[in-house]
Structure 1
Amino acid sequence: MTTSERRYHGLDIGGSKIELVSYAEGDELRELHRERIATPGADFAEFVQAIQGLIARADKAVGARALTGIGLPGIIDSASGRQLSSNVPALNGRLVVSSLQEALQRPVAIGNDCQCFALSEAQGGAAAGLPTMFGAILGTGAGGGYCVEGRLMRGWNGLAGEWGHWPVPAALLSAYGLPLLSCPCGREGCLERYVSGPGMSQLHRQLGGGDETPLSIVAHAQAGSATAGKTLEVHADLLGQALASLVLALDPHAIVLGGGLSQLAHLYEKLPGAVQRHLFAGARTPPILPPRFGDAGGARGAALLARQQLSDQQP
């Protein structure tokens, strides 16, 4: 099989569904096959068997034993190789990578779902052609990935991009009268507890509002609600500070938003100014962009990760 004929499978694994998309390599990845199943979330053996079935059917559909990339929720412990903090209970504490490589009888490239999102937006997505980019997920949590020249940077622990677990500055918590919230990661004050989708809803409750979704909060703010307007103001300031820290640490040429909050139009209007307020004079806020692929980019990013792993292994 020549390079131009290579096939890739990308799997995006979530708490409720697994999506597999198969691609042929060319100037851009060309979709050949797609299948979606419910995630077997409780039993690990059932989970592995489901992945085996997906890959077997995909291999048959594309006529090749394709290279495989997988986007997983959570992180992999660098010392033990075990999966941590996953929203798929069957995976927590398991040796997912080695188990899947044994079951599939091939190398498997694995990154978290946020890293796969970033890679997809860096190659052919909203940040295509830029020297560097950061993909910032704002969904049920807050995570991301950093790409240089279209390549995902993983880091020593494979954690590059985990900005959601940076702490909110104490001065901002004090300024807005916000409590120090515990995070499932085991620490307190992590950004994702305040700037994610559930984080925005939590902010709204803390500021005197009811139990509302981000879409509802935006709608009420547009209708003139002072409390909802305050929630959006505080949320934008906290998020602006976080993204300003990303600019100071990585200086990306663009920040691409992903996850459910990336669909909120006001963020693209408010965030550039909110970021700029937290930067020193002379530092510029990079473009803050909506995603091209969004949630559909997870499987595509996983396939691109498999391609990147292959190129890393070649002399």
Structure 2
Amino acid sequence: MAEAARTAVGYGIDIGGTKIELVACDAKTLDVRHRRRIATPQGDYHGFLAALEQLVADADAELAQTDAAVGIALPGVRDRRSGLQLSANVPALTGRAVAADLQARLRRPLRFGNDLQCFALSEAHGGAAEGYPSMFGAILGTGAGGGYCLDGRLVAGFNGLAGEWGHWSVPAHLLQRHGLPVIECACGLRGCVERYVSGSGLVALYRHFGGDASEAGAVFAQADAGDARARQVLAIHLDLLGHSLAALVLAVDPHVIVLGGGLSQHAPLYDVLPAAVSAHLFAGVQVPPIVPPRFGDAGGARGAALLALS
């Protein structure tokens, strides 16, 4: 019985800029048996570590566990040589050996990914990509990024960066076509895809052309109300997004693309996006199905639990 208890569940922790969520998933059915969210400690690294330790202890107590494996979706990028977080939307984590420090505190099997990769893994198992030989989860939120799964397994790559399509560059001819500047990116590169096609990128495009909006939904609303500027910006955004997803098709040729993030909730996008992707592919290349997610914003923690159970 003790061995069965140890392997009954896997914990998944999704660390976001405003919240941290832990879910415990049944090892056989993937049903969620426990869930808890807390606010993310922003400026206190040791408080952050203590908060995760307490989340795991609370789950252990409720589920009568002692050493359940934990998958953790860390924000940003982790340098595999030094173990340090290179960038994160939780400032207190940047430059810290988060993985090593959590291992020392939790003293159990840990698996690490990022929130984008965990989203993809979740959608590959019981989600919108269930049954497909390969899938790409493309996040269109505050930023743009994703994850790639092959036969249900996450492909992380040499640096753990597989899926970071948001930091590919928009070609100069597209920027010139639409009269757009080369925008600096926080990653240190210039002209990154995410600065143009993410939700925040859409807002930046609208403002560049003289519009006034604080979030992407307002741009869609203005277009629906007949605003010519908003419609022009959405056409530009669609062209840039179509090109970036066409590049994904040429690079990894997924059998399905699952969109995530705030823009994935805009239903009309699914009707027009396939043609926008096809416009940037050569003759004979088929655009794979582009579909909305099944688990929405719950995918990160669920995917992290799948990491723990893999």
Length-normalised TM-score, structure 1: 0.95
Aligned-residue offset at 1:4: 10
**1:224 aligned to 213, 223, 226, which one?**
226
**2:50 maps to what in 1?**
49
Q: Deviations over 1:25-82 (max 9, x none)?
A: 11x3021111111111111111111111110111111112211001111010122110
Checking the alignment, whether the CA contact within 8 Å between 2:27 and 2:309 is kept in structure 1 is no
User: Is 2:162 the counterpart of 1:160?
Assistant: yes
What amino acid maps onto 1:77 in structure 2? Answer: D
- Measure the CA separation in 2 of the matches of 1:38 and 1:3: 29
What amino acid maps onto 1:29 in structure 2? Answer: L
**1:17 maps to what in 2?**
19
What amino acid maps onto 1:121 in structure 2? Answer: E
- Measure the CA separation in 1 of the matches of 2:166 and 2:15: 20
**Equivalent position SS for 1:160:** coil
- Measure the CA separation in 2 of the matches of 1:15 and 1:209: 28
**1:72 maps to what in 2?**
74
**1:312 maps to what in 2?**
none
Aligned-residue offset at 1:207: 2.2
What amino acid maps onto 1:246 in structure 2? Answer: L
- Measure the CA separation in 2 of the matches of 1:67 and 1:78: 21
Aligned-residue offset at 1:14: 0.5
Checking the alignment, whether the CA contact within 8 Å between 2:183 and 2:192 is kept in structure 1 is yes
TM-aligned CA distance change 1:299 to 1:35, over 3 Å: same
Checking the alignment, whether the CA contact within 8 Å between 1:12 and 1:72 is kept in structure 2 is yes
Checking the alignment, whether the CA contact within 8 Å between 1:4 and 1:25 is kept in structure 2 is no
**1:58 maps to what in 2?**
59
Q: Deviations over 1:162-214 (max 9, x none)?
A: 00000000000000010000000011000000011110001111223223421
What amino acid maps onto 1:126 in structure 2? Answer: A
Matches within 5 A, 1:122-161: 122-161=124-163
TM-aligned CA distance change 1:4 to 1:270, over 3 Å: farther
**2:179 maps to what in 1?**
177
Aligned-residue offset at 1:112: 0.6
User: Is 2:268 the counterpart of 1:266?
Assistant: yes
What amino acid maps onto 2:208 in structure 1? Answer: Q
**Equivalent position SS for 1:203:** helix
Structure 1 unaligned residues grouped into runs of 5+: 309-315
Give the number of equivalent residue pairs. Answer: 307
Worse overlay, 207-216 or 168-177: 207-216
What amino acid maps onto 1:57 in structure 2? Answer: D
Matches within 5 A, 1:200-219: 200-219=202-221
Cα RMSD (Å) of the superposition?
1.2
User: Is 2:121 the counterpart of 1:119?
Assistant: yes
- Measure the CA separation in 1 of the matches of 2:47 and 2:77: 21
**Equivalent position SS for 1:265:** coil
Structure 2 unaligned residues grouped into runs of 5+: none
**2:39 maps to what in 1?**
38
Aligned-residue offset at 1:5: 4.9
Matches within 5 A, 1:74-113: 74-113=76-115
Matches within 5 A, 1:287-298: 287-298=289-300
